């Protein structure tokens, strides 16, 4: 698949494994320096998608959401993958201490941010926004959008 196969597209997944497969496929079109911002209610599929994405990047570790530590870093041969989960982030002080600008501006990183809306002004202009919607049962609607790509 090409990058254009995702941007400005809507996908409906009907199971946990389909959501992971979509993340896996999306990983194949990512490049160093990409920042992916994920939005959606609790249980809408963000972490499941990131599990597939990480696998697609070649990460063998079990991916769990870094809810309490907020940032996990996975080192690969050619890049670093950062998984941020800001669900529990309260206030700008908590966010400022994470080194967001350093992480998102490093061109050797691919960064996925859950609950990206909590970053407000810290989000880079060049990013990929993905919105997740619960559709009932195991179905999810996943909407890809690109900003200044």
Choose among 141, 148, 138, 147: nearest CA to 10: 141
Provide the token pair at 102: 């350093």
Quick: pLDDT tens for 80-119.
999 988 876 666 666 666 777 888 889 999 999 998 888 7
Residue 67: per-residue pLDDT: 54
* Residue carrying structure tokens 């992971």: 20
For the chain, the straight-line distance linking the first and the last C-alpha, in angstroms and rounded, comes to 17
Per-residue pLDDT of the chain (149 residues; tens, 9 = 90+): 788 889 889 999 999 999 999 999 999 999 999 999 999 998 899 999 999 999 999 998 776 665 555 677 788 888 999 998 887 666 666 666 677 788 888 999 999 999 888 877 778 889 999 999 999 999 999 999 986 65
Distance, CA of 21 to CA of 27 (rounded, Å): 10
Residues 81/54, Cβ–Cβ less than 8 Å: yes
Q: What is the CATH number of domain 3-147?
A: 3.40.50.300
């Amino acid at each position: 698949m090409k990058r254009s196969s995702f941007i400005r597209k809507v996908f409906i997944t009907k199971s946990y494994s389909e959501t992971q497969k979509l993340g896996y496929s999306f990983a194949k079109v990512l490049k160093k320096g990409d920042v992916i911002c994920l939005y959606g209610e609790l249980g809408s599929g963000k972490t499941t998608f990131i599990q597939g994405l990480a696998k697609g990047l070649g990460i063998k570790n079990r991916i769990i959401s870094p809810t309490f530590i907020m940032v996990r870093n996975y080192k690969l041969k050619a890049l670093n993958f950062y998984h941020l989960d800001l669900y529990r982030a309260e206030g700008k002080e908590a966010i400022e201490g994470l080194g967001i600008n350093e992480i998102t501006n490093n061109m050797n990183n691919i960064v996925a941010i859950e609950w990206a809306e909590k970053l407000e002004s810290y989000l880079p202009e060049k990013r990929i926004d993905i919105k997740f919607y619960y559709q009932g049962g195991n179905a999810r609607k996943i909407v890809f959008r690109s900003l200044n790509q």
